[in-house]
A and B are shown apart, each in its own frame.
Chain A
Amino acid sequence: MEQREPIAPHDDADVQLMLRFQQGEVGAFQQLFQKYSPSVVNFAGHFLGNRARAEEIAQEVFLQVYRWQTRYEAKAKFSTWLFKIAHNHCLNEVRKGEYRVSIESIGPQEDADGDERERQLPDTRSSKGEDVLAAKQAARRIEKILQRVPETQRTALMLSRLEGMSYQEVAEVLGVTEKAVKSLVFRATQSLKDGLKDIVNPYDL
């Protein structure tokens, strides 16, 4: 795998915002919060499978950013630094084990037979309404599979797919090599493919 040059932090506009905040400009911090808080909530929400906890985690992440006002050093892109904090908070939350993952809290409501009906999804859709329903059911299954994937694989896949990060940026977040990220994303995708094989490979069943 081709190794690229590390991203120059000072070329990042968000790093400049953080440095302005360091100089005492609170408005710069507000801009960063407005820009990134939805992404952090989204990341934590899919990571934990719980919207309420995701919001609490996102608040803690930005409180930590605020506390770092005087100590911040521009060593990486702001987004990679921020998601490193978010990833660590999510890991701590999972390891606490103080709550049960409730997929329902972020996805559409399902009844007890939901799983079985999801497995009987038709490959061809008769109407747009059915397509929407099938997509929601598939999304719910993806969320469930995601919770079973190891945390590092989950973060690698989510940052790559949901936040559009390159493998190099994901590697910076996780503190691993790009080659390791390639492997993590591959294995996470394989887990998803295996869990959704009745949809993605309907003729193999």
Chain B
Amino acid sequence: MTCEKIREELVAYQDGELAEQDQKYVAAHLSTCSVCTQEAAALARVEKMFGSLERVTPSPNFAANFWQRLEHERQPQPENRFAQWWRELRESMTNWHLTPALVGVASVLIFFAALSQRPERTSPTPGPDSSIMKKPETVAKPAMSKESTVPAEVMEKSDLFIDYTVITDLDKFARLEEIAAIDLSTEQPVEVAEAEVPKEVLEDPGFFAQYQILQQLERLKNFDAVLASPSQNDEETQG
């Protein structure tokens, strides 16, 4: 090892940070080399001066300031303007004074949501491999009758077809006044076989108007089961 390399190791040597064999090697070199020994002495003086540097001590109120600062940090921070506005809004939402207004707003929202989610009355034309082809013909019949009332242009463009049903519904709304003007007294009363209507319903006429609707709903409830069951036509084709 040259003197230059030895000098690079002198600080670590004096710190006792060299490996044992390197410590011995440098010590042996220093015992024979006066120049490196002089360099080691100069470094030792620097170390001694640096080691005698006065410590920077904390001021008397340092600790008290720290604990005060820590205490301040542990306290909840003041709200900014947005947080304050949001909190007040949330609190007012839970205020009972606003309940009627909120119920009104919710009702309007539910009404429009129900309108926008009305089920589509038509289905796209199924492909040859579609399982819909296996559905009973009796179920498909209403759709066929609907098609006859739809213009040919609409049938050609299936994406327009969906909107067409909506438009026809809207058309009904446009004729509301005309419908309201019909004198129901001239209409033939709806004949319902007494045997089909339960006795309780006949005794309470208030239920009578809804009875047919309830019957329809009962059928709709079994709609999936009706679709799944084999129709008479299917049995005939298979037979």
Contact = CB atoms under 8 A, between A and B. Distances in A.
Q: Do they bind each other?
A: yes
Interface stretch (B41-49, B82-90, B92-100): B41-49
Nearest to B69: A59
B8 A186 contact: yes
A147 B220 CA distance: 88
Given A1-B19, A138-B49, A189-B43, A55 B58 contact: yes
Nearest to B48: A200
Contacts, number: 102
A152 interface: no
A37 B59 CA distance: 11
B143 interface: no
Contact of A201 (B42, B47, B70): B42
- Most chain-B Cβ atoms within 10 A of its Cβ — which of A51, A59, A162? A59
Contacts of B62: 37, 41, 55, 58-59
A137 B72 CA distance: 41
B170 interface: no
Interface residues of B, number: 31
A167 B14 CA distance: 13
A161 B51 CA distance: 6
B217 to A, nearest CB: 58
A107 B59 contact: no
A106 B11 contact: no
B53 A182 contact: no
Chain A, interface SS category:
helix
A54 B56 contact: yes
Contacts of B12: 1, 167, 182, 185-186
A196 interface: yes
B175 interface: no
B9 to A, nearest CB: 8
Interface of A: 1-2, 33-34, 37-38, 41-42, 44-46, 51, 54-55, 58-59, 62-63, 66, 106-107, 135, 138-139, 142-143, 157, 160-162, 166-167, 178, 182, 185-186, 189, 192-193, 196, 199-201
Interface of B: 8, 11-12, 15, 17-20, 42-43, 45-47, 49-59, 62-63, 65-66, 69-70, 73
6 contacts: A44-B56, A46-B56, A59-B62, A107-B54, A200-B42, A200-B45
